């Protein structure tokens, strides 16, 4: 019977498509993988400047439930593009076709993002629910678009835990208009790029999955990819050119921004009435920015020339809303009305600090802000927020290369970078301990830099939301009650101060008649990075900061410290930490702590040292002392 089964299995395998059978996958590709791209064939035809035809055929084997998200059985389109074909084939573990979905089976829905006023994007998608694992799908799509400003990137490894057996990307083009391209992170992979007179072909073979590692840089910083861009292109019917960032910026200025800065005479008169001749440009800009924040609100509008052309400033003025493009352009128009120069700026917004790719001129970015010249530097204005202070650069915009559109064309500029000392937080508390172990505390926190971003929203929160915020942040304080919250938002100096009263009946634990007191009441850090054997990626600390803490303890009558802890000090390339407890002349205890974390990217070999650094801090931050009766 055993031999008969093997014979039947071999006959069945012969009848199936072996290339889609799970059993034919190289075992190296299943290590640390939730899916395997068996074969991916992408062809992008931009031989016509105003037409792009993209064909995709992608066969992927999904190994488990976590790999379902890697199927990507969807296709976006809009009123300037047509989905000519879309299909999905499903295969069994042995490569036998078990289902076939055609275009009529895909759902066609708006791709609205939930906050846009209007969005003309749509998406065809199929939400396939597998009956068992592993299974294989082949996704086929063809789309025709009249925009050639955005050429698809080739990413032979799409994401974490997805390996690739074979991927091939071919771009077809007019020899008179060849694309520029930039290949990154190719070392160590079997990748070949072949250039011919009218096509470029990129081929990758047997690329293992990349496992997620804590504190790794953004995936695109180390995964292989190739970017493409045409020097002459079409953006929804508008011809463009960009050989250099300077010429590209001039094109943007002339085709996307020119003629959008109109304001009514009434608005021009109103904004000029708010400034005076003795103000300098920055003082005037501060007034204009406040006018903007008081008047408008942010609403996304994803239409127009590829979602890139801002609506008229006069319309923003009339409607009192707009998206990032519109509000940035409107602010620029207001500043121009009072004689202050400013520059429309495009960037990649987000906490990952993604830079413009300097050496490949192309349509890039996902956000717009405004740059106001200030000597040799700029004051950066986030025009979509009604509460970010003038000139403050939030974490979504800081420390990255951006494209500034000046009167002389575009240029790449770096936004504000915050060091550890800039992101400063001062915590002061006085804690009164009762003989029943209750604590009553007066707490004051002063936050600056990016630490300001963590708390300034409290000013607009109601009391219930504020109390919830503190209870969640200090969830290690059992029975915490917060009252008498006083907030001071100094928007001029970008300093946020919180003063509050807090109490807990259960913060202190008892050992018989003695008390156990945790010294760090309001700023405990218990985070320890997970253990990772054979670390592969660099270690990134994306935000540096400085915390300075001091707590004065008033001990209950009849209690004393059993033993004073030694001063703790740590010095590391990652930062520093000191903690000390002293007895004051008046009988109180003085706890002091300073923690500095340095922003930076460190060698992979330093991960264990970083983990040890954070482990010590977590230990010292929960230091307890014993209070005994006299």
Report DSSP letters for 329-377, one per residue: HHHHHHHHHTT---EEEEE--STT-PPP-TTS-S---SEEEEEEEETTE
Q: State the pLDDT at residue 1.
A: 41
- The rounded distance, in Å, linking the Cα atoms of 113 and 557 is 60
Secondary structure (3-state) at 111: coil
Q: Which residue has the tokens 């000390």?
A: 580
Give the residue from 450, 465, 461, 462 showing the smallest Cα distance to 495. Answer: 450
- Rounded to 5 degrees, φ, ψ at 389 are -65, 155
Which residues make Cβ contacts (< 8 Å) with residue 270, sequence separation at least 6?
Answer: none
Q: Write down all domains in the chain, each with its CATH number in brackets.
A: 2-226 (2.60.40.3140), 242-414 (3.10.620.30), 424-629 (2.60.120.1130)
- The rounded distance, in Å, linking the Cα atoms of 136 and 93 is 7
Q: Between the CA of residue 626 and those of 74, 440, 565, 568, 629, what are the distances in Å? A: 62, 19, 10, 18, 10
Q: State the pLDDT at residue 630.
A: 79
Q: Taking the chain, what is the end-to-end CA distance rounded to the nearest angstrom? A: 85
- Rounded to 5 degrees, φ, ψ at 404 are -100, 130
- The rounded distance, in Å, linking the Cα atoms of 260 and 308 is 12
- Are 156 and 207 in contact, with CB atoms under 8 Å apart? yes
Which residues make Cβ contacts (< 8 Å) with residue 130, sequence separation at least 6?
Answer: 62, 68, 90
What value, to the nearest 5°, has the Cα angle with vertex 406 and ends 179 and 255?
Answer: 55
- The rounded distance, in Å, linking the Cα atoms of 44 and 173 is 9
Q: What is the mean pLDDT of each run of 10 residues along the chain (630 residues)?
A: 38 61 94 97 97 98 96 90 96 96 94 48 90 96 95 97 98 97 97 98 98 96 97 91 93 93 96 96 98 90 63 94 93 98 96 92 94 96 96 96 95 97 98 95 98 96 96 94 96 97 93 94 96 95 98 95 95 98 95 98 97 98 93
Q: State the pLDDT at residue 80.
A: 82
Nearest 10 degrees: Cα torsion 382, 387, 389, 392 = -40
Q: State the pLDDT at residue 516.
A: 95
Strand 509-511 and strand 343-347: the pairing is: unpaired
Which residues make Cβ contacts (< 8 Å) with residue 269, sequence separation at least 6?
Answer: none
* Residue 321 in tokens: 């809303």
- A 10 A CB-CB count for 622 gives 14
Sign of CA dihedral 452, 454, 455, 461: positive
* Residue 185 in tokens: 């992170």
Strand extents, DSSP E, 375-438: 377-381, 401-406, 409-414, 424-433
Nearest 10 degrees: Cα torsion 359, 361, 364, 367 = 90
Q: Kind and range of the H or E element at 511?
A: strand 509-511
- A 10 A CB-CB count for 11 gives 9
- The rounded distance, in Å, linking the Cα atoms of 563 and 474 is 27
- Rounded to 5 degrees, φ, ψ at 300 are -70, 140
- The rounded distance, in Å, linking the Cα atoms of 562 and 574 is 34
- Rounded to 5 degrees, φ, ψ at 593 are -150, 140
- The rounded distance, in Å, linking the Cα atoms of 33 and 159 is 10
Which bin fits 8, alpha (ψ -120 to 50), beta or left (φ > 0)?
Answer: alpha
Which residues make Cβ contacts (< 8 Å) with residue 491, sequence separation at least 6?
Answer: 389, 390
Give the residue from 235, 276, 230, 273 showing the smallest Cα distance to 252. Answer: 235
What value, to the nearest 5°, has the Cα angle with vertex 469 and ends 464 and 474?
Answer: 130
- Are 295 and 288 in contact, with CB atoms under 8 Å apart? no
């Amino acid at each position: 019977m055993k031999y008969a089964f093997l014979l039947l299995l071999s006959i069945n395998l012969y009848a199936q498509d072996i290339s889609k059978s799970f059993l034919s996958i190289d075992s190296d590709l299943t290590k640390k993988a939730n899916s395997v791209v068996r074969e991916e064939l992408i062809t992008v035809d931009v031989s016509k400047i105003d037409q792009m035809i993209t064909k995709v055929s992608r066969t992927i084997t999904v190994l488990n439930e976590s790999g379902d998200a890697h199927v990507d059985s969807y296709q976006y389109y809009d009123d300037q593009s047509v989905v000519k074909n879309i299909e999905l084939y499903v295969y069994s573990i042995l490569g036998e076709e078990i289902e076939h979905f055609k275009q009529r089976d895909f759902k066609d829905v708006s791709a609205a993002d939930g906050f846009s006023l209007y969005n003309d994007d749509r998406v065809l998608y199929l939400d396939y629910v597998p009956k068992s694992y592993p299974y294989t799908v082949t996704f086929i799509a063809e789309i025709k678009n009249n925009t050639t400003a955005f050429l698809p990137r080739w990413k032979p490894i799409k994401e974490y835990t997805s390996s690739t057996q074979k991927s091939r990307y071919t771009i077809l083009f007019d020899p008179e208009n060849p694309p520029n391209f930039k290949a990154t992170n190719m070392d160590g992979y079997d990748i070949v790029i072949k250039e011919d007179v009218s096509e470029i072909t990129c081929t990758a073979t047997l690329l293992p999955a990349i496992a997620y590692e804590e504190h790794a840089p953004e995936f695109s910083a180390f995964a292989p990819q190739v970017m493409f861009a045409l020097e002459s292109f079409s953006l929804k019917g508008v011809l463009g050119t960009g050989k250099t960032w300077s010429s590209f910026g001039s094109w943007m200025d002339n085709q996307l921004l020119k003629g959008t800065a109109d304001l009514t005479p009434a608005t021009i008169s109103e904004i000029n009435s708010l400034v005076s001749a003795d103000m300098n440009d920055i003082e005037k800009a501060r007034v204009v920015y406040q006018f903007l924040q008081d008047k408008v609100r942010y609403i996304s509008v994803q239409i127009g020339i590829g979602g890139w052309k801002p609506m008229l400033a006069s319309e923003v003025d009339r409607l009192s809303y707009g998206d990032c493009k519109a509000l940035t352009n409107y602010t620029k128009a207001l500043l121009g009305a009072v004689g202050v120069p400013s520059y429309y700026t495009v960037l990649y917004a987000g906490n990952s600090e993604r830079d413009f790719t300097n050496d490949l001129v192309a349509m890039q970015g996902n956000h717009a802000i405004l740059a106001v010249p200030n000597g040799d530097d700029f004051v950066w204005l986030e025009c979509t927020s009604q509460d970010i202070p003038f000139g403050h650069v939030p974490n979504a915009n800081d420390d990255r290369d951006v494209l500034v559109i000046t009167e002389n064309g575009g240029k790449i500029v770096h936004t504000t970078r915050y060091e550890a000392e800039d992101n400063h937080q001062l915590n002061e508390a006085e804690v009164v301990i009762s003989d029943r172990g209750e604590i009553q505390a007066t707490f004051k926190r002063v936050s600056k830099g990016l630490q300001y971003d963590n708390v300034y929203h409290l000013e607009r929160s109601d009391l219930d939301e504020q109390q919830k915020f503190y209870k969640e942040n200090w969830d290690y304080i059992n029975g915490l009650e917060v009252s008498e919250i006083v907030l001071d938002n100094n928007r001029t100096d970008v300093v946020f101060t919180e003063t509050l009263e807090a109490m807990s009946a259960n913060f202190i634990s008892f050992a018989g008649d003695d008390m156990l007191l945790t010294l760090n009441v309001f700023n405990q850090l218990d985070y320890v990075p997970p253990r990772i054997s054979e670390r592969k990626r660099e270690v990134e600390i994306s935000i540096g900061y400085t915390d300075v803490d001091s707590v004065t303890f008033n001990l209950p009558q009849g209690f004393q410290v059993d033993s004073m802890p030694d001063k703790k000090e740590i010095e590391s390339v990652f930062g520093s930490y000191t903690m000390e407890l002293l007895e004051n002349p008046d009988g109180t205890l003085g706890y002091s702590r300073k923690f500095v974390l340095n922003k930076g990217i460190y060698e992979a070999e330093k991960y264990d040292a970083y983990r040890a650094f954070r482990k010590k801090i977590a230990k010292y931050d929960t230091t307890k002392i014993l209070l005994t009766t006299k």
